[in-house]
Amino acid sequence: MTPEYSVDNSGSKPVLKIGRAALAAGIIGREVSVHTVYKLKRLIASGGMGTVCEAEQFGSDGFIKNVAIKLLLPELTKNQEFVSMFMGEAKLAACLVHQNIVQIYQLGKSDESYFIAMEYIDGIDLEQFISRHAASGRKIPPELAVYITSRICRGLEYAHNRRDENGERLDIVHRDISPRNIMITSEGEVKIADFGVAKARRKAAARMRDNIMVGKIPYMSPEQATYEPTDPRSDIFSLGVVFYELLTGVSIFDKPTEEQSISEITSGVRRDPRSYRSELPQSIAEIVLCCLELNAAARFQTAGELGYVLENHMYSKGYGPTIITLAQYMAKLYPDRKFYVAPSRGDNLSVSVLRS
C-alpha cells in the first residue's frame, strides 16, 4: 500500500508529513535491530554478584550517552542460579520507571559475561553522605533527613504497587534498603538503587525459597532476620533504620557480631533517637520508632502512608525543603564536586519546617 503523505511548503523548507494511520500500518510489527556498543570508563564498585562501571554508550552520528554497566562476575557465569538471579534483576527492575528509582535500560551478554545497562548517577550514596558529616563532626539537618526519607518512600510506594500488563500485582519488595543503595544525584534527586535482591514472589518461587535471608544485616527487618516471609512492611522497617541513622548518625543495629545485630533487631527494644540528639521533635522520634516496631502490623502499613506523614510535617506550614534545597546543601557539603546549584527563593535551611 502506498503511504499517504503531504508536503507543507509554508515554511522556509519543505516538510514531509506522513499520515499517522498510514505510518502505523507500515511499521507496526517490524523489528528494529540496533548494535549497541558500550565502552567501560572506570570502576565504580564491586559487590557479591557483580562489578559496576561507568561507561559510554555509542550510537549513530556521534551519539554518546553516559550509563552505568553492571557486569556479572566471571566466576559466577557458570553458575546457573546466579545467572538466573542476575537476569531476574534486570527483567524485574526494567519495569520500574520512576524519578526516585535508578532506571534499567538493557540486559545483554558480551562474550560469556552478562551485563545490565542502567542510568548513570552523577552523585553519591547515603553511606558517603553520612560519613562526610561524621568526619566533619556535623549533623545532618533534620528537615533534610525527613525530605530524603520521604523521597525514598515515594520510590518504594511505586515499586510496591507495580502491576504487570494484566493488572496483577508484582509483589515487589526491595529487601536491601540501606545507605549504600540510596543515591543523591548532583541535582538533588534521591534514587533507590539495586533492586537486585528484590523479588516478585510469583516469578521467584521457582528458583528461590521465600525464607532465604537477603540484605545487609544491620538494616534487616525482624522478618528477614528470622527467615520469615516478607512483604512491603519489611522495607518500611529497613527505611526506618536508615532514617534513624540520618537523624542521629548512629546505625542502631550495627553491632560487633552478626549474632548481636540480629539479637538487637529481634528484641523489640528501640532507643529513642532523642537520646542521641535531644533537639529532634517528639513527633519525628515517634515516626522513626513506629517504623521500627517489632510487629509489622504496628508499623506504617505502606510506604505511601509514611511518605504522607513525613510530607505533612515538612509542608503543613506552606513551605519546606525541595530538590533545590538538597542540591544547594550538597554543593556546600562537596565544594570540590560539580553539584548543580539553582537560584531560588524560599529554600532556606535556617527555617525550621518540623513541628514538635
Residue that is last in its domain, among 98, 119, 140: 119
Domain range for 51 is 37-119
- Say whether pLDDT at 10 is over 70: no
Is 189 found in the same domain as 131? yes
Provide the 10 A C-beta neighbour count for residue 157: 20
**Helix, strand and coil in the chain, % to nearest 5:** 40, 20, 40
Is 215 found in the same domain as 88? no
Is 304 found in the same domain as 167? yes
347 in any annotated domain: no
CATH number assigned to the domain comprising residue 167: 1.10.510.10
Is 313 found in the same domain as 176? yes
- Say whether pLDDT at 100 is over 90: yes
User: What is the DSSP pairing of strand 182-185 with strand 123-125?
Assistant: antiparallel
CA nearest neighbour of 185 among 246, 127, 121, 131: 121
Mean pLDDT of the 191-219 span: 58
> For the segment 57-98, what is each residue's pLDDT rounded down to a tens digit?
998 888 999 999 988 877 777 777 767 776 776 787 788 999
Q: What is the DSSP string of 93-150?
A: HTT---TTBPPEEEEEEETTEEEEEEE---EEEHHHHHHHHHHHT----HHHHHHHHH
CATH number assigned to the domain comprising residue 43: 3.30.200.20
Which of 176, 194, 235, 347 is catalytic? The answer is 176
Q: Is 345 helix (H, G, I), strand (E, B) or coil?
A: coil
Q: 8 catalytic, yes or no?
A: no
Mean pLDDT of the 99-112 span: 88
341 in any annotated domain: no
Where do we find the cell 554543593? 331
Is 303 found in the same domain as 316? yes
Mean pLDDT in the chain?
Answer: 83
Is 269 found in the same domain as 201? yes
In whole angstroms, what is the distance from residue 288 CA to residue 169 CA? 28
**6, β-bridge pairs:** 17
13 in any annotated domain: no
**Residue of 10 and 268 predicted with greater confidence:** 268
**H or E, element range at 5:** strand 5-8
**Residue of 15 and 119 predicted with greater confidence:** 119
288 in any annotated domain: yes
Is 61 found in the same domain as 135? no
User: Residue 342 — very low, low, confident or very high, per pLDDT cuts 50/70/90?
Assistant: low
Contact 307, 281 (CB under 8 A): no
- Say whether pLDDT at 219 is over 60: yes
Residue that is last in its domain, among 119, 136, 155: 119
Total count of domains within the chain? 2
137 in any annotated domain: yes
- Determine the pLDDT at residue 353: 36
**Residue of 203 and 55 predicted with greater confidence:** 55
90 in any annotated domain: yes
Is 168 found in the same domain as 100? no
Query: Considering only 151-160, 244-253, 347-356, which range has the smallest mean pLDDT?
Result: 347-356
222 in any annotated domain: yes
342 in any annotated domain: no
Is 166 found in the same domain as 285? yes
Is 144 found in the same domain as 58? no
Is 171 found in the same domain as 279? yes
Residue that is last in its domain, among 119, 140, 156: 119
Is 272 found in the same domain as 169? yes
